[in-house]
Amino acid sequence: MAKKKVPAKRARKVEVYPFDAAEFLDSGEAIAEYLDAAVREPDPDVFLRALENVARVKGMAAIAKKAGVGRESLYKTLAPGAAPRYETVRKLLDAMDVRFGITA
């Protein structure tokens, strides 16, 4: 008995686009929840990346000016591996109209 030929399955093309969290930060509440989740991560680079995304949404130049830092300095401050001072982070959060909160 001859074997039946089964047609080969064709692979479908799947388009994958890079994920950009900034696209979803469309309200103060979304930004607050996003930063809250990021600050809970043990890796400080996660929080820095979240701050960078929020700064991009609000405008890097505007945030730098409002925080009193240079735009280039802001990029360096938010780069992975950076260790910004508390005062700098506080200035950035103030410029983004975001406040830290602590709960027990």
- Residue 64 forms part of a structural domain: yes
pLDDT at 4: 74
- Residue 102 forms part of a structural domain: no
Question: In terms of residue numbers, what domain contains 85?
Answer: 27-95
Asked if 55 and 74 touch (Cβ cutoff 8 Å), the reply is: yes
- Residue 46 forms part of a structural domain: yes
- Residue 91 forms part of a structural domain: yes
| Calpha distance 52→67 (Å, rounded) | 14
Inform me whether the pLDDT recorded for 89 exceeds 70.
Answer: yes
What is the total count of domains within the chain?
1
- Residue 14 forms part of a structural domain: no
Closest CA to 54 of 64, 68, 43, 69: 64
- Residue 9 forms part of a structural domain: no
Query: pTM score, two decimals?
Result: 0.80
| Calpha distance 62→55 (Å, rounded) | 8
- For the chain, what is the mean pLDDT? 91
- Residue 41 forms part of a structural domain: yes
- Residue 75 forms part of a structural domain: yes
